[in-house]
Amino acid sequence: MKSYLDEAISFSEYIGLLVRLLAEGKTTGPKQSEAMLNYGKLNRQRMQRLEKTVELSDAVKSAARSNDHKQIWLVITEGWCGDAAQNIPVIEKIAAESDIIETRYILRDENLELMDQFLTNGARSIPKLIALDAETLEILGTWGSRPAAAQKLYNELKERGLEKPLIMENLQRWYNDDKSRSIQTEFTELLRRWSGRKTAEANA
């Protein structure tokens, strides 16, 4: 895991990479096309909007601020990914509430060996967050690639035979209606679980 962390970049570096690539008419990953570029542009706009508008609940703020376990959150992502655009700004705001949680970002398609250790229902779904003990690099837990309610919707639409673009359109509508409430609720519980791990083990 250390080798991947050595390659990973900060949130500001990740944003800088997206902006630089878009200025060159590109997005992240080996597949470059007009469609992928348009996804990249659209998702950068979504991220910018969310960075400005997302407001965290008191519950998730409290969970982050009371965390006493120094962690690194390694996030596997790509610039063209709609789920990443919707969730990463929220993840970043939550982590920023704690002085001892560091976020790092790494691209999926350049690190498939890592991605394949953290599949979702057999798929290379992103974003995928891996929470690590900052000292030992023990894996505390994972999250991704989308909130449970969004994943349920995705599965239902897929079972109904909808085409991928239509599924993603419905998902984006769900994200807009949800206003990050689901991911904040999930991280409130995850933070409590990951923070309490060390204490629980010490008392065992």
- Is the Cβ–Cβ distance between 129 and 75 less than 8 Å? yes
**pTM for this one?**
0.93
- 184 or 196, which is more confident: 184
User: What are 15-54's pLDDT values in tens digits?
Assistant: 999 999 999 999 999 999 999 999 999 999 999 999 999 9
Instruction: Name the CA dihedral angle for 41, 47, 49, 50, rounded to a multiple of 10 degrees.
Output: 160
Per residue in 50-106, pLDDT (tens digit) is 999 999 999 999 999 999 999 999 999 999 999 999 999 999 999 999 999 999 999
Give the phi and the psi of residue 50 in degrees, each rounded to 5: -70, -35
DSSP E strand boundaries for 9-116: 71-77, 101-107
| Cα angle: 20, vertex 90, 148; to 5 degrees | 120
Which domains, ranges and CATH numbers included, belong to the chain?
2-203 (3.40.30.10)
pLDDT reading at 200 higher than 80: no
How far is it, in rounded angstroms, from Cα 36 to Cα 30? Answer: 10
